[in-house]
Amino acid sequence: MKKNEVASSPVPDHVPPELVRDFSLFTSPGMPPTVNGDPHAAVACVHAGPPIFYAPHNTRDGRGTWVITRARDQRRVLQDTETFSSHRSIFASALGETWPMIPLELDPPAHGVFRSLLNPLFSPQRVTALEPAVRERAIALIDRIAASGTSCDVMKDFAFPFAVNIFLRFLGLSDHRLDIFVDWGKDLLHGEPVKRSAAAQKIVSFIDDLAALRRKVPVGDFMTFVVQAKVEGRPLTDKEVRGIGVLVFVAGLDTVAAAIGFDLSYLARNPKDQEWLRSKPERIGLAAEELLRAFSTVQMLRVATKDIDFEGAPIRKGDYISCATMIANRDPAEFACPDTVDLAREENSHSAFANGPHRCLGSHLARREIVIGLEEWLARIPAFRIKEGTAPITHGGHVFGIENLILDWC
C-alpha cells in the first residue's frame, strides 16, 4: 500500500445507507495532501449536510467513524465520557500493544487522578517562566534566516526547530537530537505503516531509557518529576511513566509547528492583513485566536461504550466517533461568516484546544509560542509572500499540517 493510501472498512450493517458520506480527513477530494489547496475550506463543506454522518475510512488505518459536524454536538460528546470513551491506545496499537497514553486515553475517574498530577507542570506560571527562552529562540532562528537571504522554507528553518526546541526545553532535554525527533514525529504521524511502527518503537525506547536514567540520576526535570511522582499513595508503574512520557513527546511535536505554518501561509497570501498585524503588534494575541479557529488542526476520536441514538444516527457500542476541531470551528451556528478570517474577531470561543475533561494541557504553552513566534517574525521579516513557482503542500490526517512553506521577501 502506498503512502496516504488507506484500506477502507466495510460499512457496518447498522449504518443506514443515507447517512454514509464519501468523506475522509485523509483522502477526500479537495482534502490533503493538496498543493496550494485549502483543506480547511474542503472540510467546512460538511456544514451544508446533516449534523452527523458516517465516513467509511476516516482514520489512519482506514476505519470508519461517525462524524459530528455541529460544535454544540461535539461538546456534548466530549463532555459525556461515560458514553464516549477516550480509551483507544492509538499510539500503542502501532506496536500491536494496548497501553494508554496518559491522561489522553484514560476516562474519568482515572483521568482526573493523572490530570491533577500533571496540571501544575503546565500552569500559566510555569509557561511565563519559559517565555524569555521562547523569545530568545524565536529571535535567534529568525535572525539567522534574515541574515542568510530573502527566502526560506518556514517549516524547516523556523516552525519545526522552534516548536521542538521549546518542547524539549520544557521536558528538560537538550536539542542536539532535534532533527531526529522531528523525523520520528513525521514518520509516526504521516508515514506508511512500517515507518510508523519503527518510529513508535524508537519513541518508546527513548522514553523508557530516559525514565531509567532519571530514576538513577534525578535532575529535577519533567521526567524526574514523573518517575518520582505518586498517585493514590503509590509510585507510578513503568507503563504509566511511559504513557505520560510518550504523550507529552507526541503532543508537542508538530501541533505548534503546524499552527505557525498555517498562520504564516495565510499572512503570506493576504498582504493587507499581514501589514495590519505588523503595524498593530498588540493585536497579535487576538489574531492568533482567530487563526487557531480558522486553521484548527486536530481531530479527536472517541469510542461508543454503549448503543445510543444521536441526532437520529444509530451509534452502536464500539463505533468510532470523530469530533474534528477543523469542522466545529467552521460551524455557522457558532461563528458569523465562519469561512472568513477576521483577525479582529472578538467573539471567538473556538475549540482548537478541545472541550471537556481532555482540554489541551499544553494550551498555555502553545498559545505563547504561537504569539511570540508571530511577533518576532513580523518584527524582523519585511512584507513576505509565497515564493513564485512554489506551492505549500498541506497534509491531512488526525493532525493537519504543512510540509513545506517557501516564502520570499525583498
Which of 127, 189, 300, 405 lies at the binding interface for ligand HEM (CB under 6 A)? 300
The nearest distance, CB 296 to ligand HEM, in angstroms, is 7
Give, in order, the Cα–Cα distances in Å from 361 to each of 134, 297, 348, 358, 365: 18, 16, 20, 8, 9
Among 24, 255, 265, 394, binds ligand HEM (CB under 6 A): 255
DSSP strands (E only) in 28-186: 34-35, 52-55, 65-68, 84-85, 151-153
352 binds ligand HEM (CB under 6 A): yes
Cis preceding linkage at 103, omega within 30: yes
Site string for ligand HEM, 93-132 (x = CB under 6 A): ----------xx----------x-----------------
Beta strand pairing call for 320-324 and 65-68? parallel
What is the nearest approach in angstroms of ligand HEM to the Cβ of residue 365? 5
For residues 219 and 81, is the Cβ–Cβ distance under 8 A? no
| Closest distance of CB 189 from ligand HEM, Å | 13
Residue 383 burial (CB count, 10 A): 12
Per CB under 6 A, the list member of 33, 245, 362, 396 interacting with ligand HEM is 362
381 touches ligand HEM by CB under 6 A: no
- 384 is a contact residue toward ligand HEM (CB under 6 A): no
Q: Judged by CB under 6 A, which of 284, 298, 304, 315 binds ligand HEM?
A: 298
The rounded radius of gyration (Å) of the Cα atoms in the chain is 21
* 161-180 residues near ligand HEM, rule: CB under 6 A: 167, 170
Determine the 3-state secondary structure of 66 from DSSP: strand
Peptide bond connecting 124 to the previous residue in cis, omega within 30 degrees of 0? no
Select from 325, 343, 394, 400 the one that contacts ligand HEM (CB under 6 A): 325
Confirm if 90 and 106 have CB atoms less than 8 A apart.
Answer: no
Q: Is 64 an interacting residue with respect to ligand HEM (CB under 6 A)?
A: no
Instruction: Name the residue nearer to ligand HEM (CB basis): 124 or 382.
Output: 124
> Which range, of 46-54, 199-207, 249-257, 374-382, touches ligand HEM by CB under 6 A?
249-257
In this structure, are residues 157 and 381 in contact, taking their beta carbons and an 8 Å threshold?
A: no
Which one, 94 or 366, has the nearer CB to ligand HEM? 366
Taking CB under 6 A as the rule, does residue 358 contact ligand HEM?
yes
For β-strands 52-55 and 308-310, DSSP reports them as unpaired
DSSP secondary structure code for residue 51 in this structure: S
Provide the binding-site residues for ligand HEM, judged by CB under 6 A: 103-104, 115, 167, 170, 247-248, 251-252, 255-256, 259, 297-298, 300, 325, 352-354, 358, 360-362, 365-366
